[in-house]
Structure 1
Amino acid sequence: MAKQKWYQPYLLGGLAGLLLTASVGITGSFFGTSTTFPRLSTWIADKVGIDLSHLAFYQAGNGSLTGAAFPDWQLLFVIGIGLGAFIMSRLNGSFKLESLPPMWAARFGDRLGLRIVHSLFGGALVMIGARIAGGCPSGHGVSGVSQLGLSSMLALAMFFLGGIITARILYQGGK
């Protein structure tokens, strides 16, 4: 396990709070990532000539959930999450390439194709759930809870509960 240095959780939590405050002050928007994916999907559909404008989704918020509002600051936020995680894992020495996580391989075997199918299906379910919940864990957990939103606190609790139940079922209680 890599040693923690200056980037203690309290410091990074405080910096995240300052970044959230700056985001609201500069863009008027709170953190969130899940809207980026429907925007990207509808942007791609538009580019390949698929007309979805008859759907109610396209009219919601004057098209703010569609490719018409893409690219935007949320795309940079999503890219930054991945890039920041990569940079920090390199800096703290925890970065490693692995085709399959050891816990997955121990439970389900070393079939990479099976892992990809499960990941795509699970990701789609999570995205559908995030859109039904009106936001993703980062949106509810950071932005919603910082506003003391009861619905965000409930949604965050359900995200955690769903994750714990799923992990226990998939990995047989972590054994």
Structure 2
Amino acid sequence: MEADWIWGLGGGLLIGLGGAVYLLGNGRIMGASGILGGLLDGSGKSTAAERSAFLAGVVLVPLLIGLATERTPDTHVTGNAAVLIAAGLLVGIGTRVANGCTSGHGVCGISRLSLRGIAATAVFMLAGILTLAVLRQILGVI
């Protein structure tokens, strides 16, 4: 049996631990879209160093783990640039409309039993499932 599932389990545990440390350490929810958004729109100037450190960790830690284990994950990401750009834009718009992302609503919101987080997670999961079904099964784009 392949042990690739352990990478997902480890990643999930690290995300949960990161959310707990972020909340206990500074009393704020670990929502990646809000952290990035505050840097981009200037509303997070007072916590810019903290936000930058968080985002650097999100990017650098997986790279360091990949270098340490000499393993690159098989992501199955499409090579179609138009699909990638559209996906990025839709995710960005969705996080602004929902006032949060998977880390804020899904990880931190559900763990705090937030009805808003639970509802948002249910809606974006359903939207993702339907989008994948339409794009893959009906349109054959991905």
Higher helix share: 2
Aligned to 2:38: 39
> Residue 4 of structure 1 contacts residue 92 of structure 1 at CA under 8 Å; is this kept in 2?
no
TM-score, reference length from structure 1: 0.62
RMSD: 3.5
TM-score, reference length from structure 2: 0.73
Aligned to 2:63: 86
Question: Deviation at 1:15?
Answer: 4.8
Letter of the 1:26 counterpart? G
Gap change, CA 1:23 and 1:119, over 3 Å in 2: same
Give, in whole Å, the separation in 2 of the partners of 1:67 and 1:5: 36
Structure 1 alignment gaps of length 5 or more: 44-65, 105-111
> Residue 33 of structure 1 contacts residue 74 of structure 1 at CA under 8 Å; is this kept in 2?
no
Give, in whole Å, the separation in 1 of the partners of 2:60 and 2:2: 19
Aligned to 1:149: 114
Question: Deviation at 1:131?
Answer: 1.5
1:1-175 mapped onto 2 (5 Å cutoff): 3-4=3-4, 9=9, 13-43=12-42, 66=43, 68-69=45-46, 71-91=48-68, 94-95=71-72, 101=77, 104=78, 115-172=80-137
Letter of the 1:158 counterpart? V
Aligned residues: 140
Aligned to 1:59: none
Gap change, CA 1:18 and 1:67, over 3 Å in 2: closer
Letter of the 2:48 counterpart? P
Q: Which of these two proteins has the greater Rg computed from alpha carbons?
A: 1
Structure 2 alignment gaps of length 5 or more: none
Give, in whole Å, the separation in 1 of the partners of 2:72 and 2:2: 10
Question: Deviation at 1:151?
Answer: 1.1
Question: Deviation at 1:81?
Answer: 2.0
